[in-house]
């Protein structure tokens, strides 16, 4: 993994435009009162797929694994202010996420374990990944990178729930429906990752 990879200004600009456009379209559908999500959730085939995923451990675990790999890779890289993981960071990341997902799916109803995993994933792992690359842990990193990034992550999820008229509550839906409802969170985390590294480049000039 080459953490020194830097996309060109033109590529970065195009990616930002595409992601902002996707986010805007996604939010406008809901703000205009569109009910496509509700209609899809009532489709018999869709319901069957949801039940299959929720009632079978392996497919449910795979969906959880794929989504966690995508979400946490963008979140961690945003915290680290890196475009890519270094080799050692990637090894630690690719070992931790499957284990975390496995524990989470086995003890999915245990709130204490879920909270502990959230703390480890949101705060402990970024510090480990930062330190393992030879960096010194400072208060600036803990406050502006780790704490602020987790605050943004929470805010993105809050915005997603409010826009979808779900209110501030835990989703009591199938894993697939929860994933669909969270598409905008993925986009917002992706944008945060891009802007964190974009600002880093501009400040280094």
Task: Specify the pLDDT at position 31.
Answer: 67
Cα 151 off chain centre by: 13
CA angle (70 as vertex; 205, 196 as ends), nearest 5: 20
Tell whether the model's pLDDT for residue 204 goes beyond 50: yes
Give the range among 8-22, 37-51, 65-79, 153-167 with minimum mean pLDDT: 37-51
- Give residue 36's pLDDT: 60
The pLDDT value given to residue 159? 87
Domain boundaries in the chain?
A: 9-204
* HSE-up (13 A, CA, CB side) for residue 49: 11
What is residue 37's predicted lDDT score, i.e. its pLDDT? 60
pLDDT at 32 over 70: no
Query: How would residue 92 be classed by pLDDT, with cut points 50, 70 and 90?
Result: very high
Question: Of the candidates 15, 42, 29, 7, which has an alpha carbon nearest to the alpha carbon of residue 183?
Answer: 29
Mean pLDDT of 162-180: 63
Provide the whole-model pTM. Answer: 0.88
Can you give the chain as a three-state secondary structure string? CCCCCCCCHHHHHHHHHHHHHHHHHHHHHHHCCCCHHHHHHCCHHHHHHHHHHHHCHHHHHHHHHHHHHHHHHHHHHHHHCCCCCCHHHHHHHHHHHHHHHHHHHHCCCCHHHHHHHHHHHHHHHHHHHHHCCCCCCCHHHHHHHHHHHHHHHHHHHHHHHHHCCCCCCCCCCCHHHHHHHCHHHHHHHHHHHHHHHHHHHHHHC
pLDDT in tens, 74-87: 999 999 999 999 99
- Per-residue confidence (pLDDT) for residue 46, from 0 to 100: 77
Average pLDDT value for the chain: 86
Q: Is the pLDDT of residue 162 over 60?
A: yes
Portion of the chain with pLDDT greater than 70, in percent: 85
Please name the residues in contact with 193: beta carbons below 8 A apart, sequence gap of 6 or more.
Answer: 74, 75, 77, 78
pLDDT, average across residues 119-136: 95
Which has the closest alpha carbon to 129: 193, 189, 69, 80? 80
Identify whether the C-beta of residue 158 lies closer than 8 Å to the C-beta of residue 43: no
What confidence tier does 30 reach under pLDDT thresholds 50, 70, 90? Answer: low
CB 53 within 8 A of CB 174: yes
Q: Tell me which of 201 and 117 has the higher pLDDT.
A: 117
Indicate whether 2 pLDDT > 70: no
Confidence of residue 176 (pLDDT cuts 50, 70, 90): confident
């Amino acid at each position: 993994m080459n953490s020194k990879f830097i996309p060109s200004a033109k590529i970065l600009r195009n990616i930002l435009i595409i992601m902002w456009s996707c986010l805007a379209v996604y939010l406008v559908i809901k703000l205009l009162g569109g009910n496509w999500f509700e209609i899809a959730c009532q489709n018999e085939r869709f319901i069957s797929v949801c039940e299959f995923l929720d009632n079978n451990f392996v497919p449910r675990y795979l969906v959880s694994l794929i989504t966690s790999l995508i979400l946490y890779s963008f979140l961690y890289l945003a915290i680290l202010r890196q475009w890519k993981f270094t080799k050692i960071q990637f090894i630690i990341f690719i070992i931790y996420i499957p284990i975390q997902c496995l524990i989470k799916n086995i003890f999915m109803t245990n709130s204490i374990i879920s909270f502990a995993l959230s703390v480890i994933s949101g705060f402990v792992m970024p510090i480990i990944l930062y330190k393992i690359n030879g960096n010194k842990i400072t208060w600036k990193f803990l406050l502006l990178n780790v704490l602020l990034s987790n605050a943004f992550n929470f805010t993105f999820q809050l915005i997603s729930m409010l826009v979808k008229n779900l209110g501030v509550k835990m989703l009591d839906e199938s894993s697939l429906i929860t994933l669909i409802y969270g598409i905008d969170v993925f986009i917002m985390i992706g944008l945060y990752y891009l802007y964190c590294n974009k600002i880093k480049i501009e400040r280094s000039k």
